[in-house]
Structure 1
């Protein structure tokens, strides 16, 4: 909701392209920081999970070859 309001304000004060710029900046910030109050896994946790998934995929592929 706040992002939409910021976009509309940017359009009002700076023109149509300003809204697109503000949307891009705030969207990037939101993706980088995340939702307030929500817990996110660390990069290390994500990497470990992905490595485990890849190992499991390799095991499954090996079973299918037999």
Structure 2
């Protein structure tokens, strides 16, 4: 999909990054559901950011439960 104007960036690269971020967000939501975290939306909002490392999910959940 390289038919977008140059000022918007490389379509393939942008699509790959969007897919990566979508997978990260999905990982956070899936983890919250699997661990029966009461408010999945709040947990996701407090946990996810574009550079999030999914390996830290358990650590984030433990910290949140303590507070």
TM-score range for the pair, normalised by the shorter chain length: 0.3 to 0.5
Structure with more helix by fraction = 1
What TM-score results when the alignment is normalised by the length of structure 2? 0.38
What TM-score results when the alignment is normalised by the length of structure 1? 0.39
